Chain A
Amino acid sequence: MKKVLMILLISLMMLLSTNTLSAAGEHVVIKTEPEVISYEQLNELENDLIHIDQDYGISIYVIFDQSIDDLVAYADDFSARYFDNTNNVGLFINSQYYYVLAEGSASDVIEENIDNLWNDFLYYAQAASSPEDGYLFKAIQTFYQSCVRLINGEVYQSNVPGVVVATPYVNDFADLLSDSEELELNKKLLAYKNRYGLDAVIVTTNSTNGMYISDYTDDFYDYNGYGNDGIILVLDMGERDWWFSTKGKGITYFTDYGIDTIIDDMLDDLKSGRYYSAFNTFANDVEYFTQKGIEGSVIDYTPSKATFGIDNVVISAAIGLIGALITMGILKGQMRSVSRQYMAHNYVVNNSFMLTGASDLFVNRHVTRSRRPEPTRSSGGGGGYSGGSSTHTSSSGSSHGGHGGHF
C-alpha cells in the first residue's frame, strides 16, 4: 500500500540555492548549497538507518535534492527500486515541495502524523546554516526516530528528540540461534508489536547471574525499555529452566493456563534442541493468544462444563421419591395416635433424681493420619487452574504474571 502526501514547501526555500553534492549514501542523499551537513554526520545517519533496517524491518530514506524536477516521478521510481522491507518510509525534498511516501503495515500511522513529522523536521532544518550547527543532522535524526516510534506503536511526541534505544526482541546471549534466525524472529516479533502494541521478548542465557530466574526475567523486561504491555520468555541453559513473565495486557492475555499451553507446544523442540522452531512456535502462539484476548475470548482453563442429561432427571426423581415417602410418613402419622408407652417419665417424683456416682475415665487415644491430597498442576493437564493469571510484584515495583519450569 502506498500513501502519497504532497504539500507546498515554503520556508525551506530560503535556505537552498544551488545544487552542490554534499554527501551520498544508500539511505540519505543530501545535495544542498551551501553545505549544511558534514560527511561524518551523514555517515552516522546512514549507520543508524542501516541498523533500523535490520533490527526493525523498517527502511527509511531521506532524499534532499534541489535538482529534482518531478518529485513525484522521482519518488515512484525510487520506491520501485528500493522499497523492499516490511515498512518503508521515504522523505523526498526538492526546491519547492516535500513528498512523503510510506509503504507497509505502518503507512497509516505515518500518514496520520505527517504534519507532525514535517513540522519537527522543519523546526530544525530551518535553523541550519552550516555543518557545525548540526541542525539538518538533527532534523533528519528526529524524522526517522519519530517514524520508528510511530511504527512501534507509540503515540507521537512532538519535539522530544529522545534517543531510540534499540530494543531487539531476540536476545540470544546463549547463542542458540544463527544470525539470520535471530533476524527472522526479530522481524516477526516486531510485526507483532506493530500490530498489537505488545512486546514479545525472547532471552536465552547461560546464567542468570545468581539471581532467581523469576527476578531475572522480570528485571530484564522492566529495565530494558520494553513497553507496559508484553510477555517475556527466558531460557536459562545452565539450569535448563524456562520462565515466562507477563506485564500489563500480557497478564490478561497470557493466563497461567495459557502459558502452560505455550510452553507445552514448545517443549518437544526445546528438549531436542530445535530452538528456532520452538521460538517460532512461541511467536505464533503469542500472536494467536493476543488475537484471542483482544477478541475477548482469552484462552484460559475452563472446567469441563456440566451437561444436562438423564442423570439429572434420575437424581431429581430420587429426591422426589424420598420427598414422597416423607410425605407419606407425615400424613400417615397424622392418622395414628394410639401407641403403647414404654417410658414412665411422667411419673418421676420432682427432684428425686440423684446422681450418687459419676466417673468419666479416659482409657486411651488413637490418632490416624492421612496425607492431604496436594493440589496438582501438571503442564497440559486439566487440574489445578483457578482461571486467570497469578501475579507478583517485581523489584521495579511493577506487577507481573507468569511462572516457569524445567525442560
Chain B
Amino acid sequence: MSELRDFKCPNCSGALEFDTKSQKLKCPYCDGTFDPEVFNEGTDFTVNNEEWNDDNIIVYSCRSCGGAIMADRDTAATSCPYCGNPVVMTSNVSGVFKPKKIIPFKLDKKQAKERYKKHLLNKYLLPDAFTSEAAIDEIKGVYVPYWLFDGRANARMWFDATRVRFYTEGDYDCTETSYYKLFRAGSVRFLDVPVDASSKIPDELTQSVEPYDNAESKDFNTSYLAGYVADKYDVDVAESRDIANSRISNSTSALFSSTTMGYDSVIPTSSSIAITEGNQEYVMYPMWLLNVDYNGKKYTFAMNGQTGKFVGDLPSDNGKLIKAMALVFFGITILGSLIQFILTRL
C-alpha cells in the first residue's frame, strides 16, 4: 500500500508545478499561483499493494492520462513520463521520512542548461566534437535528501616548532635553530554540516556543489516537490554522522594549526579533538542533474539549485594535450637555448 498525492489546480484541474521565479505553485494553463507553504488542495490517493512487484518497483496508472508510472520504493516525488503530471509519494515524506526543512529551487531548467554551456567555455582540452555532438540526455531537478549535523569541537593540540636565524660572527656563518613546544586549546562550533543521505547520487558530486545556505530553507511541505524528482534518505544517521564528524575534525585541526604563526616550521605532534554532537536535521536541497552522452559514455553534471554552482568532469582530447605540451616544450627549449647561446656570445 502506498500513499500518493498529486496537485490539481483548484481553478481548472490542471497539473500544478513549482515555479522558481515566483517561488509558488503555478498552473501552466490558467496561470493561477498558490503559496506552497499553505497549499492543501493536493489529492491524496492510495495505490494497492498488488501493484508492488518483486523488484521494489511501484507501478501505477497516471490519474491524468492513464499512463503507467514506475517508481523506486525510495522515490518521494516524480512525474508521469507521458504527461508530466507531478506526483508525490506521501508515505516517503511523512513520519520519520518527513524532512524538517527544504530549500526550494531558485534556478530552473533553462538556467541549468545555460550554466552547462558556460561550463564548457574556455576548456582548451575539450574535444571539439563534444560541444556539437554531446547531447543532454536527461536533465532533472532533484531534491537530494541531506542530514545536517551541528557540533562543537573541543581541541587540544601540541606542536613542535622551530625558528631559524642566520648571522655571521667573524669568519663564521652561524645557523641558530630555536626549538619550541606549542600548545593550543579551544573550541569551535559548526552548524548544519550537510551529508548526502541518498546513496543513488555520488557523494563527490553532492559535496562539490556545496555549500547551500540553510538560512533560506523553508519548513517542508510536499507542495515544493511538485514537478521535481525526490528520493527519501537511504543512508542512516549514524553512518552520515561519521562523515560529518570527520570533516568537522579536519577543519578544527586546520583552524588551530593556523594560530601557530611566526615559526619556520610547525609539525603537529599530537592532538585530541572531541566533538560534542548537537542537533541533526533531515532536509532536502535542490540540485539539477544533467546526463550527457558523448562517444557512448555518460557524463554527469550537477548544479546547485540554490546558488547555481556548476560542476562536472569533462573529457580531455589527448591530441590537443600533446600538441599543447609539445608547443610549450619545444618553445622553451628553443628559446632557452637561443638565450643561452646569445649570452655565451656576449
B181 within 8 A of A: yes
B83 within 8 A of A: no
Q: Which of A307, A321, A340, A352 contacts B204 (CB 8 A)?
A: A340
A343 within 8 A of B: yes
- Inter-chain contact A370/B172, CB cutoff 8 Å: yes
Instruction: Given the known inter-chain contacts A343-B251, A374-B171, please indicate yes or no for A320 contacting B126, CB distance below 8 A.
Output: no
List, sorted by A's number, 6 A–B pairs whose CB atoms are closer than 8 Å: A316-B333, A325-B325, A357-B183, A361-B180, A366-B177, A367-B177
- Inter-chain contact B336/A316, CB cutoff 8 Å: yes
A206-220 interface bits toward B, Cβ cutoff 8 Å, 1 = contact, 0 = none: 000000000000000
B1 within 8 A of A: no
What range describes how many residues of A lie at the interface?
Answer: 35 or more
Report chain B residues within 8 Å CB of A315: 336, 340
Q: A339-B208, A368-B175 are in contact. List 19 more A-B contacts (CB 8 A).
A: A308-B340, A308-B341, A312-B337, A319-B333, A332-B316, A335-B126, A339-B204, A343-B251, A344-B244, A347-B194, A352-B188, A357-B156, A357-B183, A365-B177, A366-B177, A367-B176, A369-B174, A372-B168, A372-B173
Q: How far is the CA of A348 from the CA of B182 in the complex (A)?
A: 24
Report chain B residues within 8 Å CB of A372: 168, 171-173
Q: How far is the CA of A374 from the CA of B172 in the complex (A)?
A: 10
Report chain A residues within 8 Å CB of B244: 344
A223 within 8 A of B: no
Report chain A residues within 8 Å CB of B194: 347
Instruction: Given the known inter-chain contacts A361-B180, A365-B178, please indicate yes or no for A347 contacting B188, CB distance below 8 A.
Output: no
- Inter-chain contact B325/A327, CB cutoff 8 Å: yes
Q: How far is the CA of A349 from the CA of B173 in the complex (A)?
A: 49
Q: Nearest B residue to A361 by beta-carbon distance?
A: B181
What's the tally of chain B residues with a CB closer than 8 Å to chain A? Answer: 79
- Inter-chain contact A363/B183, CB cutoff 8 Å: no
B23 to chain A, nearest CB (A): 24
- Inter-chain contact B181/A363, CB cutoff 8 Å: yes
Report chain A residues within 8 Å CB of B210: 341, 346
A356 within 8 A of B: yes
- Inter-chain contact B207/A341, CB cutoff 8 Å: yes
Q: How far is the CA of A268 from the CA of B302 in the complex (A)?
A: 88
- Inter-chain contact A335/B123, CB cutoff 8 Å: yes
B205 within 8 A of A: yes
A364 within 8 A of B: yes
Q: Which of A307, A334, A348, A370 contacts B173 (CB 8 A)?
A: A370
Report chain B residues within 8 Å CB of A384: none
Report chain B residues within 8 Å CB of A335: 123, 125-126, 313-316
B316 to chain A, nearest CB (A): 5
B344 within 8 A of A: yes
Q: Which of A340, A349, A357 contacts B189 (CB 8 A)?
A: A349
Instruction: Given the known inter-chain contacts A349-B190, A363-B181, please indicate yes or no for A344 contacting B251, CB distance below 8 A.
Output: yes
Q: Which of B156, B247, B331 contacts A341 (CB 8 A)?
A: B247
B255 within 8 A of A: yes
- Inter-chain contact A328/B332, CB cutoff 8 Å: no
Instruction: Given the known inter-chain contacts A320-B332, A337-B311, A338-B208, please indicate yes or no for A348 contacting B179, CB distance below 8 A.
Output: no
Q: How far is the CA of A363 from the CA of B120 in the complex (A)?
A: 55
Instruction: Given the known inter-chain contacts A327-B324, A354-B187, A363-B180, please indicate yes or no for A316 contacting B340, CB distance below 8 A.
Output: yes
A324 within 8 A of B: yes
- Inter-chain contact B328/A323, CB cutoff 8 Å: yes
- Counting from the closest, the 9 A-B pairs by CB-CB distance are A316-B336, A357-B185, A320-B332, A352-B189, A344-B247, A320-B333, A324-B325, A324-B329, A341-B207
A307 to chain B, nearest CB (A): 6
B122 within 8 A of A: yes
B312 within 8 A of A: yes
Report chain B residues within 8 Å CB of A24: none
Q: How far is the CA of A26 from the CA of B215 in the complex (A)?
A: 126
- Inter-chain contact B255/A353, CB cutoff 8 Å: yes
- Inter-chain contact B333/A369, CB cutoff 8 Å: no
Q: Which of A317, A323, A340 contacts B207 (CB 8 A)?
A: A340
Q: How far is the CA of A352 from the CA of B183 in the complex (A)?
A: 19
Report chain A residues within 8 Å CB of B336: 312, 315-317, 319-320
Q: How far is the CA of A306 from the CA of B302 in the complex (A)?
A: 58
Q: How far is the CA of A358 from the CA of B186 in the complex (A)?
A: 9
- Inter-chain contact B174/A367, CB cutoff 8 Å: yes
A355 within 8 A of B: yes
Q: Nearest A residue to B300 by beta-carbon distance?
A: A338
Q: Nearest A residue to B164 by beta-carbon distance?
A: A366
B254 to chain A, nearest CB (A): 7
Q: How far is the CA of A383 from the CA of B96 in the complex (A)?
A: 86
Q: Nearest B residue to A357 by beta-carbon distance?
A: B185
Within 8 A of B (CB), among A67-94: none
Report chain B residues within 8 Å CB of A331: 124-125, 316, 321, 324
Q: Nearest B residue to A351 by beta-carbon distance?
A: B189
- Inter-chain contact B172/A371, CB cutoff 8 Å: yes
A195 to chain B, nearest CB (A): 36
Report chain A residues within 8 Å CB of B326: 324
Instruction: Given the known inter-chain contacts A335-B123, A335-B313, please indicate yes or no for A320 contacting B321, CB distance below 8 A.
Output: no
B161 within 8 A of A: yes
Q: How far is the CA of A20 from the CA of B192 in the complex (A)?
A: 137
Most chain A C-beta atoms within 10 Å of own C-beta, residue among B125, B316, B332? B332
- Inter-chain contact B340/A360, CB cutoff 8 Å: no
A192 to chain B, nearest CB (A): 36
B295 within 8 A of A: no
Q: Nearest A residue to B315 by beta-carbon distance?
A: A335
